[in-house]
């Protein structure tokens, strides 16, 4: 097996270089969850067992008709046992924050 230097590997995969530009927004672990319209019970169970120390932004999208008005934030808020966990309907351009669950509105994409 041949050994390659870091510089030769870097030249083969030029897009793997770390981003050295300063970031203006704090980053956090992001978890995306997609489900069919019938996935509500699984999502409810997930919220019930959400660990209070996860410190992640969660994005949930369900396959729904574009004209469907989701009640998911209200439904999931009733299952929420974590005091610092915020569940809300996502809006375009909203920054992701740890301990927030963002529900993607019907007819939108994440």
pLDDT tens figures, 76-94: 888 777 778 899 999 999 9
Is the pLDDT higher at 23 or at 55?
55
Give the Å distances, CA to CA, from 54 to 30, 57, 89, 99, 100.
Answer: 10, 9, 20, 8, 11
The per-residue pLDDT for 25 is: 53
Number of H helices, E strands in the chain: 3, 4
pLDDT of residue 16: 46
- 15 versus 7: the higher-pLDDT residue is 15
- For 31-77, what is each residue's pLDDT tens digit? 999 998 788 899 988 888 888 888 899 999 988 777 777 888 888 88
- The residues with which 56 forms a beta bridge, in sequence order, are 29
Strand order in the sheet with 100-103: 29-35, 56-62, 100-103, 86-89
């Amino acid at each position: 097996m041949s050994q390659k230097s870091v510089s030769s590997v870097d030249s083969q995969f030029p897009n793997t270089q770390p981003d050295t530009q300063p970031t203006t927004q704090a980053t956090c672990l992001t978890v995306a969850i997609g489900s069919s319209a019938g996935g509500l019970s699984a999502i409810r169970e997930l919220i019930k067992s959400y660990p209070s120390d996860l410190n992640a932004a969660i994005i949930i999208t369900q396959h729904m008709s574009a004209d469907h008005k989701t009640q998911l934030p209200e439904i999931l808020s009733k299952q929420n046992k974590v005091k610092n966990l915020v569940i809300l309907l996502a809006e375009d351009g909203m920054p992701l924050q740890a301990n927030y669950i963002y529900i993607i509105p019907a007819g939108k994409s994440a």
